[in-house]
């Protein structure tokens, strides 16, 4: 079933309704849909490189809006949120992510939102944890924006071969990204 969904999403990327489909997939993936929007974003950027950043912005905005739905599900519809976590292989997800939010706070959103870990797990559990909505919102904009603009930039300037290299070493690049974010916060604290 996942393969058919994946193929369906990939086919949507070539249709005349691709931007609308990208927005819908980005929104849905942040709260319940299994296929990440990168599956559509990549071929759309490769087909129209001049639109790369517009597609990344659309993907980011829709993903953050979908994240708000995921947060709301976690906050107000816990049984639904728990069912989604179970469906994606995290039956103890609420307790696990609650521990992460208690210990790491906003870093859970910043790190996990930029990695291949399904973002819906972060959004729903942020609602479970009653995490600050304002902090959740700005961290989501930052982390999802970085992810989608990075994918769009790589494809726009280096093409599909570079994306394959990036995907092979995504965990390494996620650690580098986190180190840069930490360095930025430290610099703001020291020099701000």
* Sign of torsion over alpha carbons 81, 83, 89, 95: positive
- Residue 161 CB partners (closer than 8 Å, separation 6+): none
Please give the pLDDT value at position 133: 94
Compute CA 85 distance to the chain's CA centroid, rounded to the nearest angstrom: 16
Residue 131 has phi, psi (to 5 degrees) of: -65, 150
pLDDT digits (tens, 9 = 90+) for 129-144: 888 899 899 989 998 9
User: How do residues 19-40 score in pLDDT, each as one tens digit?
Assistant: 998 999 999 988 877 778 887 8
Residue 1: is it exposed, middle or buried by C-beta count within 10 angstroms (0-12/13-18/19+)? exposed
- pLDDT above 70 (res 69): yes
pTM above 0.85, yes or no: no
pLDDT 10s digits, 89-142: 766 666 666 667 677 667 767 666 666 667 888 888 889 888 889 989 998 999
């Amino acid at each position: 079933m996942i393969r058919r969904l994946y193929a369906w999403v990939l086919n949507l990327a070539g249709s005349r309704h691709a931007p609308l489909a990208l927005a819908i997939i980005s929104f849905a993936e942040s709260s319940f849909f299994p296929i990440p929007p990168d599956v559509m974003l990549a071929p759309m950027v490769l087909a129209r490189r001049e639109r790369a950043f517009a597609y990344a912005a659309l993907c980011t905005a829709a993903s953050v809006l979908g994240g708000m739905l995921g947060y709301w599900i976690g906050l107000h519809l816990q049984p639904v949120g728990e069912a989604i976590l179970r469906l994606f292989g995290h039956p103890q997800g609420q307790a696990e992510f609650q521990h992460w939010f208690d210990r790491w706070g906003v870093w859970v959103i910043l790190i996990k939102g930029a990695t291949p870990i399904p973002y819906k797990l972060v959004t729903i559990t942020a609602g479970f944890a009653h995490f600050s909505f304002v902090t959740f919102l700005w961290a989501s904009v930052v982390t999802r924006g970085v992810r989608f603009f990075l994918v769009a930039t790589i494809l726009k300037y280096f093409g599909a071969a570079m994306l394959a290299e990036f995907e092979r070493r995504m965990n390494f690049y996620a650690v580098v990204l986190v180190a840069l974010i930490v360095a930025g916060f430290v610099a703001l604290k020291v020099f701000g």
